[in-house]
Amino acid sequence: MTGRLEGKVAIITGAARGIGRACATAFAAQGADLVLLDVCGDVDGVPYPLGTRGQLDHTAKTCEAAGASVITTACDVRDPAAARQAVEAAAGRYGRIDVLVNNAGIAAPSGKVVHEITDTEWDVMLGVDLTGAFHLTRAVAPVMIGQRAGSIVNIASTAGLVGYRNFAGYVTAKHGLIGLTKATALDYAPFRVRANALCPGSVRDDPHLEGRMLVEIARSLAVDTTDHEAVFAEQQPTNHLVEAQDVAATAVWLASDESPHVTGSVITVDGAFTAR
């Protein structure tokens, strides 16, 4: 029995750790070959360490052990030239690009009311969480149009559907990402290129994935990080945090041929958080 993504080539941004690593390993297990991107260094204005080259290489080795062919590239998604070069390298190596997972994202700088947010803080948040997805989508679209096939999966958030206090930049970026998803789906529907948004709720920072998004959100909200998972779980109707693998499994479905008419959709993986 072949994998659900056998023969497909997927680009995944923010692949060094967290949801990006979960998506990469899930895609590899289903037969995809991979182009894994991450910034591989810190970014001015982001108050916590971002994914490293070593973490990206660890993701790649895990995927190669599952049988995938893997390219890794250090790429700041805010840089349109870097995005274009990564896509060109992927197309040159594999001859096609079937899937783009726009996962790269930051949770902070956050924790301020709107009038206290600086221009620099606003720019870095939107640059990574929204404009980066635009850069990769713009670069990959001509390849997918030429193939008359492709799936773009944008990792948004429940913050793309509802507001959160003291997170105006993040909320704006994720709402914008959902808007970009819908516009992309309509623009490329005639070419059988699909675009969908995934909106995770509070995702547990799995130590095996080296994720740290939830703890950084907790710090921005001044939540005690020794007990922050329990605090966030209490806000979930299911009383459980979402697992990164849950998000990755949904991304696999959207990337596969099992969802041929699913496009322009916004799919929550949030334990009914936004159902209230």
**pLDDT of 1 above 80:** no
Place of tokens 């991979």: 34
Whether 270 is covered by a domain: the verdict is no
Query: Which domain does 217 fall in, by range?
Result: 9-260
207 in a domain, yes or no? yes
The verdict on residue 274 lying in a domain is no
Q: How sure is the predictor about 2, in pLDDT bands with cuts at 50, 70 and 90? A: confident
Using CA atoms, how far apart are residues 226 and 230, in angstroms rounded to an integer?
9
152-161 per-position pLDDT tens digit: 999 999 999 9
Token pair recorded at residue 169: 């930049």
**171 inside domain:** yes
> What's the CATH number where 134 sits?
3.40.50.720
Marked catalytic residue, from 48, 94, 170, 188:
170
pLDDT 10s digits, 131-165: 999 999 999 999 999 999 999 999 999 999 999 99
Report the alpha-carbon distance of residue 56 to residue 62 in Å, rounded. Answer: 10
- Tell me if the bond preceding 109 is cis, omega within 30° of 0: yes
Number of domains in the chain: 1
Residue 271 lies in a domain: no
Do 132 and 13 meet the contact criterion of CB atoms below 8 Å apart? yes
| Residues 96, 53 contacting (CB under 8 angstroms) | no
Can you give the pLDDT at residue 23? 98
pLDDT digits (tens, 9 = 90+) for 44-62: 999 999 999 999 999 999 9
Whether 270 has a pLDDT exceeding 60, the answer reads yes
188 is catalytic: no
